[in-house]
Amino acid sequence: MTLATERLAPSQRSPLLESLRSVTGPDWLLSQPDDLLLYAYDGSVDQAMPDAVVFPDTTEQVQAVVRIARQHGVPVVPRGAGTGLSGGAIARCGGIVVSTSRMNRILEVDIRNRRAVVEPGVVNEDLSTHTKNFGFYYAPDPSSQKACTIGGNIATNAGGPHTLLYGVTTNHVLGVEFVTMDGTLVTTSGLADAPGYDITGLICGSEGTLGIVTKATVQLLRSPAAVKTLLASFDSVASCSAAVSGIVAAGVVPAAVEMMDQLALEAISQFIPQANLPTDAAAVLLLDLDGVPSELEEQEASIRAVLQNTEARAIRVARDAVERDLFWLGRKHAFGAVGRISPDYYVQDGVIPRTSISPVLKEIGLISRTFDIPIANVFHAGDGNLHPLLLFDNRVAGALEKVIEAGNAILKVCVDAGGMLSGEHGIGMEKQKAMPMVFSHDDLAAMQQVQAVFDPHSLFNPAKIFPAPAGCAEINNLRRSTTPVQGHA
C-alpha cells in the first residue's frame, strides 16, 4: 500500500518540534524521516507518516504535549506497543504520535482489594508475572500479551482466549486517568460499583479518540487452584464447530475454547513442532478448565461426552504444566507461524453467534476459493470471535487490494449471521467504511456527537472508526482554522 503522507509544511513543523523538544528533551523526540518510518505502521496493512513521535515519561509531559498539539492545530495519536491490527496507532492525518512505552511502571498492587494501578505502557503479561507471587493475575490475555500494553488493550477493548469465562478488558478496568483535548486530567472512579455515567466503560474501546490514558486501575483475580487443558481433534470442521455450542449447551463454560483449522495447524507445527499438534486433523479444539479439582473432574466428564457425541477422533489431556504450556505456545504463536509460510497475511476480526460457526466457516471457504486466497482459521471459538488469516504476497500487484476485498466479504458474512465487525482488534482505519453494515446513519451520528463532547475538533486520532466524509487534508485545514489556543504551550 502506498505510504500515506499528510506532513506539515516546514514553516509549521519547525516551531512544533521546538515546542515538543522543550517538553521531552532531544533524546525523546523523533523527527527525522528514517526514524518516523518505524512509527508509520502497526500490525495492520495500512501506513501513514507522523510529523513527530514523542516518548513522554510522566502524565505532566503528556498534558504538555497535548496542549502544544492543540496550540499548533495538529492531531495526537496515542500508541502502545504498535501490535494493533486495525491501523489504530497510525497517524493517518499526520501530527504527533505519543508513544507510552516509557510510562511502564506498576504503581501499586493492592492485594487486599484485588487491584493494581498501572501506567499505560505496562506490558500485559508483565502484570501477571509481577503479581504471580501473591497468588493473583490479570485475566485479559491477548495472544500478543508478551508485547502488547495495557493502554493499547484499553484502546481496543482487547480480549483473548480466556474471554469466554472472564470477559474482555473493560470487565477488568475499574478506573482510568486520561488527558483531555485541552490538557486537563480526568480521573474516573476506581470502584467497581461507582454511581453515575460509566465513563471508564466509554474510554475502553474508544481507540484513542476521546483522550490519552495515562493510568489505569485494574482488577486482579486469584490464580485458580487447578487447571486442566484438553486438546480434541476432528476429521471435519463441521463436527468441531458443533462441539463448541454443544459444550456450552451442556452447561459447562470452560475458561477458554480455541479452534484451529488444518492450515493453521500445519503452520504452527512447522514453527513449534514441540507443541505436537495433529497436522492431519481438519480442526482441533483447545480447551482450558480452571477451578477446584473436584469441579474440573465433573466438567471434563461433561465435555468428553459432548466431544464423543460430535465425533472427536482423539481427546488428549495435558499431562502436566509443561505440556499445557506447549499447547498454548502453539496457539498463541499461530499468527507468527502463518507469517513463516506466507510473505504476508491479512487478519480479520469478525464476531458471530457460536451456533453459526460451521456455516460461516463454509462461507469463508467459499470466499477463499472464489478469490483464490488461502485462508487459515485460528480463533476464539467460545465467544465466536473469528480470526481468518488471508495469506498473500504484497509484492504481487493487486494482491493487497484483493485480500482487502475478500476480508470485507468475510465481514459481510459475519454481519449477515447476526454478528459484529470486531471482537477485539478495533475498527481503526481498517473497518471504518464497513460501519454502515451494522450501524444506521442515526447510530453513527449519535456516537460522533459523544466524541464531539470530548474532542469537538477531532484532535485525538482523527479519521478513525467512523466513515470519514472528508479526507485528512480537509480535516486538518478545518482544525487549524478553528482550534489554535494561545498560552497553553
Q: Which three cell numbers stand for residue 219?
A: 482488577
Angle at 389 between CA 383 and CA 394, to 5 degrees: 155
What size, in residues, is the chain? 489
User: How far apart, in whole angstroms, are the C-alpha atoms of residue 414 and residue 337?
Assistant: 25
Domain boundary among the residues 280, 300, 335 is at 335
Residue ranges of the chain with per-residue pLDDT less than 70: 1-6, 192, 469-471, 473-489
User: How far apart, in whole angstroms, are the C-alpha atoms of residue 398 and residue 342?
Assistant: 16
Domain count, the chain: 4
CATH number at residue 156: 3.30.465.10
pLDDT at 77: 98
Residues 380 and 324 in one domain: no
User: How far apart, in whole angstroms, are the C-alpha atoms of residue 298 and residue 292?
Assistant: 11
pLDDT at 489: 31
What number of other Cβ atoms are within 10 A of residue 455's Cβ? 18
Q: Where are the alpha helices (DSSP H) in 319-356?
A: 321-332, 334-341
pLDDT at 458: 92
Residues 210 and 261 in one domain: no
Residues 114 and 94 in one domain: no
Domain boundary among the residues 176, 197, 222 is at 222
Residues 122 and 208 in one domain: yes
Give Cβ neighbours of residue 160 (< 8 Å, ≥ 6 apart): 140, 141, 142, 143, 145, 168, 380, 424
pLDDT at 50: 97
Residues 427 and 457 in one domain: no
Residues 92 and 127 in one domain: no
Q: How far is CA 402 from the centre of its chain?
A: 24
DSSP 8-state code for residue 170 = G
Q: How far is CA 245 from the centre of its chain?
A: 25
Please give the model's pTM, rounded to 2 decimal places: 0.94
Residues 388 and 408 in one domain: yes
Place of cell 504538555: 64
Full residue range of the structural domain in which residue 151 is found: 106-222
pLDDT at 469: 63
pLDDT at 468: 75
pLDDT at 471: 60
Q: What letters, b where the CB count within 10 A reaches 16 and e where it falls short, cover 326-340?
A: bbbebbbbbbebbbe
Place of cell 495538529: 74
pLDDT at 3: 58
CATH number at residue 230: 3.30.70.2190
Q: Confirm whether 234 is domain-assigned.
A: yes
User: How far apart, in whole angstroms, are the C-alpha atoms of residue 425 and residue 86?
Assistant: 6
Give Cβ neighbours of residue 61 (< 8 Å, ≥ 6 apart): 23, 24, 54
Residues 209 and 250 in one domain: no
Is residue 219 classed as helix, strand or coil in its secondary structure?
strand
Assess contact for 460 and 209: CB atoms under 8 A: yes
User: How far apart, in whole angstroms, are the C-alpha atoms of residue 266 and residue 271?
Assistant: 9
User: How far apart, in whole angstroms, are the C-alpha atoms of residue 486 and residue 70?
Assistant: 9
pLDDT at 10: 83
Nearest CA to 243 out of 325, 354, 330 is that of: 354
Is the alpha carbon torsion for 160, 81, 102, 214 positive or negative?
negative
Q: What share of the chain is helix, strand, coil (3-state, %, to 5)?
A: 40, 20, 40
CATH number at residue 38: 3.30.43.10
Q: Which three cell numbers stand for residue 474?
A: 480537509
Q: Confirm whether 70 is domain-assigned.
A: yes
Q: Which helix (H) or strand (E) holds 242?
A: helix 237-249
Q: Which three cell numbers stand for residue 456?
A: 469537538
Domain boundary among the residues 192, 222, 252 is at 222
Q: Where are the alpha helices (DSSP H) in 259-371?
A: 262-271, 293-309, 321-332, 334-341, 357-371
